[in-house]
Amino acid sequence: MTMTAYDLHQQHETAMDFATEALVAVRDGDEARAQALFRQAYALEAELVDAPVVGDDLTRVILLRSAANLALEAEQLAAAAQLVAQADALNPPASLAAELRVLHERIQLRHHLATAGLMLRSNELHFVLAGPAIEHGVAPSEVVLPRLSDLERLMLRTAEQMLALPFRKRGAPLPTVQEHYGLYLAAPRAGSFAVTLGLGHPTAAPTLESEPHPTPTAVLARVLDGLRLIQFGKHHHLRALLGDGDYYRDFVTHARSLAPDQKQVTLVGLATWGASGERIVELTRPRHAVDTSDLDDAADPPTVQLIGRLEMAHEGRGKRSITLYNEAEDATYTIHVPNQNGKLTHIVREFWGQLVLVQARRPNRHRLELLEIAAAPTPTTRS
């Protein structure tokens, strides 16, 4: 039976539904379910890339990019690389070409980790950079060294928090903390730019003076948990993980510095090996999209109620907002919307042009952040 354009669209939507379910499983930590769903999504999308009904190269590039991404998530590295090559051969526009380069770099990262010679100890971290400034095995020092410094800061701060030490506002860490949780370069690896980093000096004693204490493996796991939440924009979960405001603010600040700048670096890859096997975190969220708006929040910012007509919505550079106009007061309010998938779209679809009642928190006098929104109650007329 010949595939029609409608059939292609429906099958693509089904594949995307499987992929969405897989991402939810990833965020919930159910890797087995995520892999099964990614494989189903890839199988469906791969059938579409050569369908005769695809009449133009742009559409085919989009399908090839989608299939390559799903192949990568399904751990089909050879297939992913082949699909990216097919898309590149169609001379895609600049925006799609840039996305394909990032996808290629992600494939290269996975290839590094799949290489037989790469064996990581439980206290080691594989660190990979890729992007326009990176050549095969060579990277500018100004690109690498600051990120290694941020990564070490994340490790040391996380270890100090897990040791229940007060937040250190200045000065060096305790010598025992530096010895057991500082980063040490193990050995360079061939690749875009890849090195293996050891956590803790090789000659350090296996225990600290104070018990109990976290192992270097546990500190690595906590840092990767936090960076994964940064990648998905789950800052409320990161707050729950880190708890203390100072540690949270410090983590977000250094994670943002570690993230890709999109000019020189487009991918920061991190991988460890533990009891549950290989673990990979790919930071592709650019620095400007890492939300730092709550870093100066008070512990309990005040809440306010506002009423107005929803007249504008804005989304760009990782930020979302709505604008209300209160005719009675001739006042306009811009309210920031949480970075949740579909949140802004739902608000616009439900309340566009309507009079709404908003509950918002005010972390400072210049900023409002949405908590709740509902249709404004209709005034009752007294007889």
Domains identified in the chain and CATH numbers: 5-92 (1.20.58), 120-289 (no CATH), 303-375 (2.40.50.140)
Report, as an integer, the average pLDDT of 310-329: 84
Q: Which residues contact 337 (CB under 8 A, 6 or more apart)?
A: 320, 321, 322, 343, 344, 347, 370
Lowest mean pLDDT among 29-38, 131-140, 199-208: 199-208
Res. 210: pLDDT tops 50: no
| Torsions phi, psi for 284 (to 5 deg) | -115, -10
Task: Place 310 in a pLDDT band, splitting at 50, 70 and 90.
Answer: very high
DSSP 287: G
| pLDDT tens digits, 241-273 | 888 688 998 999 999 999 998 888 888 988 887
More confident residue, 195 or 178: 178
Task: Place 156 in a pLDDT band, splitting at 50, 70 and 90.
Answer: very high
Q: At what angle do helices 94-114 and 77-89 cross, to 10 degrees?
A: 160
pLDDT at position 85 is 92
Report, as an integer, the average pLDDT of 353-357: 88
Res. 71: pLDDT tops 50: yes
Strand boundaries in the chain, DSSP class E: 124-130, 183-189, 194-199, 267-274, 277-283, 303-316, 319-326, 331-336, 355-364, 367-375
Res. 31: pLDDT tops 70: yes
Q: Nearest to residue 293, comparing CAs of 310, 273, 318?
A: 318
Task: Place 227 in a pLDDT band, splitting at 50, 70 and 90.
Answer: very high
pLDDT at position 251 is 93
Q: Which residues contact 225 (CB under 8 A, 6 or more apart)?
A: 241
pLDDT at position 295 is 73
Res. 84: pLDDT tops 90: yes
Edge to edge, the sheet with strand 194-199 lists: 183-189, 194-199, 124-130, 267-274, 277-283
Res. 14: pLDDT tops 80: yes
Lowest mean pLDDT among 40-44, 145-149, 193-197, 230-234: 193-197
DSSP 47: T
Q: Give me the DSSP letters along 11-37.
A: HHHHHHHHHHHHHHHHHTT-HHHHHHH
Radius of gyration of the chain (CA): 24
Task: Place 230 in a pLDDT band, splitting at 50, 70 and 90.
Answer: very high
Res. 45: pLDDT tops 90: yes
pLDDT at position 18 is 92
ω into residue 146 within 30 of 0, thus cis? Answer: no
Distances 38 to 27, 46, 283 between C-alpha atoms, Å: 14, 12, 19
pLDDT at position 252 is 92
Res. 157: pLDDT tops 90: yes
Report, as an integer, the average pLDDT of 196-217: 67
pLDDT at position 190 is 47
pLDDT at position 65 is 92
Number of other residues whose CB lies within 10 A of the CB of residue 78: 10
Question: Rounded distance, CA 298 to CA 162, Å?
Answer: 24
Res. 379: pLDDT tops 80: no
Question: Rounded distance, CA 306 to CA 212, Å?
Answer: 50
Confirm if 284 and 106 have CB atoms less than 8 A apart.
Answer: yes
Res. 58: pLDDT tops 50: yes
DSSP 319: E
Q: How many CA atoms lie within 13 A of 59 on its CB side?
A: 13
Residue written as token pair 């192949």: 71
Confirm if 39 and 74 have CB atoms less than 8 A apart.
Answer: yes
What percent of the chain clears pLDDT 90, i.e. is strictly above it? 21
What's the CA dihedral at 113, 116, 121, 125 to 10 degrees? -20
Lowest mean pLDDT among 93-97, 298-302, 369-373: 298-302
Structure-token pair, residue 338? 């949480």
